[in-house]
């Protein structure tokens, strides 16, 4: 059983239509059908009843649904934790803000705007204390953030 199969199962369970589910995942209908068929073969029972109007989850699919959702949520949590560890290891400070803030302040000399309402400030460029102080000063000048010692220590 692969994560991709679980992802396909969850999308098909939600959409109840192979065409719609495959379009939502940007894959071919054949790829979706084959993956679901392989999953059904692996578990040993049908997960969907197929008809011309779409698919209907079987009772067994209903029983597995919450487990599959838990697996995908756990995997997303794992990816986030790995990313957090990597950012800490590389000494990068990320700050998230509303889109209007990204457009209201110049920050090129202090950080790189990634287009996702974030800036990343590599601490290797100067001493971390200087970088943080410089960033604080700039953000305070824009009047958008309130930093406390606890916030900066995290």
CATH code where residue 51 lies: 1.10.10.10
pLDDT tens, position by position, 80-134: 888 888 877 776 556 665 655 555 555 553 344 444 444 444 444 445 555 556 6
Q: Is the residue at 148 inside a domain?
A: no
Q: Give the span between the Cα atoms of 12 and 21, in whole angstroms.
A: 5
Q: Give the span between the Cα atoms of 107 and 85, in whole angstroms.
A: 25
pTM above 0.75, yes or no: no
Q: Measured between alpha carbons, how far is residue 126 from residues 8, 16, 41, 151 in Å?
A: 46, 54, 57, 21
Q: Is the residue at 89 inside a domain?
A: no
Residue numbers of the domain that contains 34: 3-79
For the chain, what is the domain count?
Answer: 1
Tokens 């959409």, located at residue: 15
Give me the pLDDT at residue 90, please: 72
48-51 vs 54-57, strand pairing mode = antiparallel
């Amino acid at each position: 059983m692969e994560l991709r199969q679980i992802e396909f199962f969850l999308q098909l369970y939600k959409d109840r239509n192979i065409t719609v589910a495959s379009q939502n995942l940007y894959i071919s209908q054949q790829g979706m059908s084959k993956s679901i068929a392989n999953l059904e073969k692996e578990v040993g029972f049908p997960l969907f009843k197929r008809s011309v109007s779409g698919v209907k989850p079987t009772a067994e699919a209903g029983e597995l649904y919450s487990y599959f959702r838990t697996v995908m949520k756990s995997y997303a949590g794992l990816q986030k934790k790995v990313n957090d560890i990597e950012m800490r290891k590389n000494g990068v400070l990320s700050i998230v803000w509303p889109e209007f803030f990204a457009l209201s302040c110049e920050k090129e000399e202090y950080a790189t705007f990634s287009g996702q309402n974030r800036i990343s400030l590599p601490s290797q460029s100067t001493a971390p204390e200087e970088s943080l102080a410089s960033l604080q000063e700039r953000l305070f000048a824009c009047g958008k953030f309130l930093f406390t010692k606890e916030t900066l220590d995290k």
